Amino acid sequence: MRIVVASKPTSAGRAGAVGERVAARLAALGHDVRHIAAADYRGQLEQSRFAMTTADALVVVGGDGMVHLGVNIVGGTSKRLVIVPAGSGNDFAASLGIRIGEQAMDGLEAALAASPERFDLVRIEHPDGVELAAGVVSVGFDADVTVRSNRFTRVPRALRYRAAIAATLLRPRHRTFRMRFDGGEERSWRTLIAAIANNGTFGGGVPIAPSASLHDGRLTAVLADEVSYPRFLLTLAKVLRGRHEADRRLHVRDCESVEIASDDPVTVCADGEMVGRLPVRCTAMPGALQVLRAP
């Protein structure tokens, strides 16, 4: 089998070293392997996408950011994705039961021999193009946290997202969004929390949408009413524990598509990566991702 292994360079952390081991193990199993570890995300995306034109499967080594890269290469195609978790946030891998990188490496031979399983994705149309996502698209407080966590390069990786939450809490920003679900009537929503989930967790295990499913062909929108700062802290505490869906100030809605706009400049994040700016249209892509994993 012709396989591309994509990982961050060794200088970026342990994912690069794990990538080298994964590539060596696959080669030892008799596969035709090309290992790509570019210096930046754009270079990694372009080189991996080009290599996949003649390959059968893509193995991504890292966290949700590398899964994001992978789905933007093989999503909606007949190519298969294999995930070896080695990042600070491995939410999508964990949702598939792939929690330990060493176990994923030990199961590579079985994964490549398994039948592919299909999972939903999110199609994100924004002013600068189209991108796919595996997990959660965020535009509110959670997006602000993602932007800040990407800047916290001196904070230990396992603590980065929680540290960004604490820092963002010092100056949370309500924003007014114009939203339209499934082509229906537009309504305004002033909120701190606005997330569109395909997967139930993000940020290294934060259960933003416990009821979300990767198999139902639908997205789960999580929106909070405008609240006072003390009330927001209580709401956020519930979100972090996954106990917020019963809160009357939080609204959970399943949909196939959602359009989001704002008069404010707003960064859109997905899978822990900054992907664009508002306005966006998010649409469910049922079964668009084929994943290989060990039984």
Q: Domain map of the chain by residue range?
A: 2-114, 129-288
2-114 against 129-288: fold identical = no
Largest Cα–Cα distance of the chain, in whole Å? 60
Least confident of 10-14, 29-33, 89-93, 134-138: 10-14
Q: pLDDT tens across 239-273, in order?
A: 878 878 778 888 999 999 999 999 988 999 999 89
In this structure, whether the domain defined by 129-288 belongs to CATH 3.40.190.10 is answered with no
CA 87 to each of CA 92, 163, 271: distance values in angstroms, whole numbers, following the listed order: 11, 16, 12
Give the pairing of strands 250-255 and 219-224. Answer: antiparallel
Q: What is the CATH number of domain 2-114?
A: 3.40.50.10330
> Which pLDDT value is given to residue 11?
43
CA 43 to each of CA 8, 49, 150, 188: distance values in angstroms, whole numbers, following the listed order: 11, 10, 18, 38
Residue 207 and residue 201 in contact, taking contact as beta carbons nearer than 8 Å: yes
CA 96 to each of CA 55, 85, 145: distance values in angstroms, whole numbers, following the listed order: 24, 11, 25
> Which pLDDT value is given to residue 9?
67
Mean per-residue pLDDT, 45-61: 97
Least confident of 95-104, 142-151, 200-209: 142-151
Mean pLDDT for all residues in the chain = 92
Q: pLDDT tens across 62-107, in order?
A: 999 999 999 999 999 999 999 999 987 899 999 999 999 899 999 9
Distance CA 179, CA 45 (A): 31
Task: Give this prediction's pTM.
Answer: 0.91
Q: pLDDT tens across 215-242, in order?
A: 999 999 999 888 888 888 888 888 878 8
